[in-house]
Amino acid sequence: DSQSKVYGSSDPVLTFTVGGFGLAGNAATGVFDTQAVVFSGSQARSAGEAVLGSPYAITRGSLTANSNYSVTGYTGSNLAILPASLSITADDKTKFSGEPNPVFTASYSGLKFADTPADLGGSLQFVTPATNSSLAGNYPIEPSGLNSSNYSISYFSGNLRIDPLNL
């Protein structure tokens, strides 16, 4: 059966369906074969964990039937890896009127495996309407500029609070 998972999560249980005449059942004796009784071993999938390499082939692996059955064919399928959600939030900052804007930074939520911000493509940028001469008040800090095939990136604003300069 076709399967999917989100980047960074565990593989789903690989499942299959039986075609042809199916599994035997005898209502008179109450004996019905099930996949768990008839088959042993497990399916396998091609190695890889990246969205760009997806889909990965699901193969028969070591899956075999007991001696009461003959498997005459196996049709493989695929495991698709979908992008994980990644949130990038501009960190809140504070400055006094007349000062240059501080260095803006961001926090990341949702990185998988041992991924770090350095593994993302592009360049993190920040935009704010605040300048050296902006009046006291609150101004948004808007992050943008990163990309990755393994992540669906959402950006969230931070706040730049400009306090009046006490004389």
Give per-residue pLDDT as tens, 72-109. Answer: 889 999 999 999 999 999 999 999 999 999 999 999 99
Cα–Cα distance for residue pair 167/165, rounded to 1 Å: 6
pTM of the model: 0.85
Q: Which pLDDT score is estimated for 40?
A: 94
Q: What is the DSSP letter of 36?
A: H
Which residue type sits at 13? V
Residue 158's Cβ-count burial label (10 Å; 0-12, 13-18, 19+) is: buried
Q: Which pLDDT score is estimated for 157?
A: 98
Q: 103 vs 39, 92, 93, 125, 126, CA distance in Å?
A: 61, 11, 9, 11, 10
SS3 92: coil
pLDDT at 167 over 80: no
Span 9-23, mean pLDDT? 88
